Amino acid sequence: MTATGAEALNLAAALEVNAGARPDHPAIVSGDRMWTHAEVAAEVRALASWLCAQGVTKDDVIGVALRDTPDHLMMIFAVVRLGAVLLPLDWRWTEAERTRVATHFGARMTICEPDAEPGAATPALTMTQLRSAPVGADDPPFVLDPDLPLLMSLSSGTTGMPSGPELTHPQMLRRFWTHWINLGLNADHRYMSATPLYFGGGRTFAMSILYAGGTVILFPPPFRPGELCAEIARRGATSLFLVPTQLRGLLELGADELGPVRALDVLISSGAPLDPQERSEIGTRLNTNFREYYASTEGGGISLSTPQTRARCADSVGRPVFGVEIAVVDDTDVPVPAGTVGRLRYRGPGVATRSFSKDGHHTDLLRDGWFYPGDLAEMDAAGFVTLRGRAKEMIIRGGVNVYPFEIETVIRSHPQVADVAVMGVADARLGETVVAACIAKDASLDSGALLDWCATQLAPYKVPAQLRMVSSFPRNSAGKVLKAELLDLFQTLDTDLSQISS
């Protein structure tokens, strides 16, 4: 099939280009099975035909609630080939959660796992049902449009209703550019997909590798850190993206087990910021070409920390990626002097400009052309960006701004602390006060001893008024700590936080 020029307007067309240019090159590897680029293109055509037979057309919203399988990855491209809009749904959600989100975004149907409960409001089809249905056109045409919607890049988590920034094909393509230009990914890479495809980062990296003609090796969580190392070696993977929680697990391993990770061409982290000590240890022990990719759901890549940027400014998340402009402003949107903490904003060709609306009334996500992710940051005269936390998480204690990220960085440096979450709770006298939940590496560390240590490392107003030792944190699919759930439990003083599960 000829797709010349179409790949710029419909990302799925690149699969046909790859099928012609490198038909026998591995495209997807999962378990004992390998799909070539020719096979992937043929399967995407077949899936698109089945969707056509179900009446799917341009602008229809299609929910995809599948496990991290080749079917999931190929269904993404089948949906977008038709000009339909992908609605990512976590297959682990209950039927009520899935139906609530699918209904909110006006999904025409949802593609689910065979064991999924049937949706109450949105028709749900399994892959088996879809493949047994009558087939439509053998070769459904690509829907081409310079402003064609691609997907709702949903925020993670299941508490409340996710937001739905609408991402177009050209905007996603510009996000791919940063993978190629700033991260060095290309058609020769064997990328190990070890984060959920439902999660924006995991999905986008896998899509960009397939688009470029490379190989995606599916190794979905859960897995032990040692199992990941063994799989990297077994598959000959060259690139890997992990969230900080997964990287911290790798840091617990010995040097011998970490050999395959050190051999990767590039190791990438995103999803949540790391502290300077972690960046240094990951770059030293795990991979010398470790890159921290500061990104957001709405905007894609924002800045990049590399070995070179860390040598000059270890605290920063690096400099802006290709095509992205960053500014730090005050509460009136006026840029602040270099080195001053303010609200970060950015703009670029990969930033979503509007949120999806099933009634056609879209909401503009930008303010005077800039997107504000809600992060506090400072930027020096050389363009290095240092995060100072989330604006909504900033604690105002007695009129003084306290940044949880700073306190978390200090507490995490304690040799017996595995992880920490710092929050603010209401206080009648001070307005807010600092509290912390910690996961210890061993049971010998108690909260009293840790608080005493904090008093030697932090100014008095930054030392937590309460500190609880817990066994684990509640997290979303991206590995981020759900502080709202932790905070609810903190405010219920008789609750045993050790019962929280991830």
- For residue 433, the domain's CATH number is 3.30.300.30
Q: Looking at the structure, do residues 73 and 119 belong to the same domain, yes or no?
A: yes
Q: Is 85 helix (H, G, I), strand (E, B) or coil?
A: strand
Q: Looking at the structure, do residues 197 and 292 belong to the same domain, yes or no?
A: yes
Q: Does residue 327 form part of some domain?
A: yes
Q: Which long-range contacts (CB under 8 A, 24 or more apart) does 262-266 make?
A: 262/286, 262/287, 262/288, 263/232, 263/233, 264/232, 264/237, 264/238, 264/239, 264/240, 264/289, 265/184, 265/189, 265/238, 265/239, 265/289, 266/183, 266/184, 266/185, 266/238, 266/239, 266/240, 266/290, 266/291
Q: Does residue 172 form part of some domain?
A: no
Q: Does residue 311 form part of some domain?
A: yes
Per-residue confidence (pLDDT) for residue 95, from 0 to 100: 82
Q: Looking at the structure, do residues 442 and 400 belong to the same domain, yes or no?
A: yes
CB of 258 within 8 A of CB of 281? Answer: no
Per-residue confidence (pLDDT) for residue 359, from 0 to 100: 61
Q: Looking at the structure, do residues 374 and 399 belong to the same domain, yes or no?
A: no
Domain total for the chain? 3
Per-residue confidence band for 162, with pLDDT thresholds at 50, 70 and 90: low
Per-residue confidence (pLDDT) for residue 218, from 0 to 100: 98
Q: Looking at the structure, do residues 309 and 400 belong to the same domain, yes or no?
A: no
284 pLDDT above the threshold of 50: yes
Per-residue confidence band for 386, with pLDDT thresholds at 50, 70 and 90: very high
Q: Does residue 276 form part of some domain?
A: yes
CATH of the domain at 228: 3.40.50.12780
Q: Does residue 160 form part of some domain?
A: no
Residue after which a domain boundary falls, among 357, 390, 423: 390
Residue after which a domain boundary falls, among 350, 374, 390: 390
> Please, what is the average pLDDT of the chain?
88
Rounded average pLDDT over 59-75: 95
497 pLDDT above the threshold of 70: no
Tens of pLDDT, residue by residue over 311-332, are 999 999 999 999 999 999 999 9
Of the chain, the percentage scoring pLDDT greater than 70 comes to 90
Helix axes 404-412 and 447-457, enclosed angle (nearest 10): 110
Q: Looking at the structure, do residues 233 and 381 belong to the same domain, yes or no?
A: yes
Q: Provide the residue range defining the domain that includes 486.
A: 395-499
Q: Does residue 299 form part of some domain?
A: yes
Tens of pLDDT, residue by residue over 408-451, are 988 999 999 999 999 888 877 777 889 999 999 988 898 899 99
Tens of pLDDT, residue by residue over 193-216, are 999 999 889 999 999 999 999 999
Q: Looking at the structure, do residues 337 and 401 belong to the same domain, yes or no?
A: no
Q: Does residue 163 form part of some domain?
A: no
Q: Looking at the structure, do residues 191 and 323 belong to the same domain, yes or no?
A: yes
Tens of pLDDT, residue by residue over 90-111, are 888 878 778 888 888 889 999 9
Q: Looking at the structure, do residues 304 and 192 belong to the same domain, yes or no?
A: yes
Q: Does residue 6 form part of some domain?
A: no
Tens of pLDDT, residue by residue over 341-361, are 999 999 999 999 988 766 656
pTM: 0.83
Residue after which a domain boundary falls, among 144, 168, 197: 144
Q: Looking at the structure, do residues 209 and 329 belong to the same domain, yes or no?
A: yes
Q: Looking at the structure, do residues 409 and 492 belong to the same domain, yes or no?
A: yes
Q: Looking at the structure, do residues 370 and 423 belong to the same domain, yes or no?
A: no
CATH of the domain at 130: 3.40.50.980
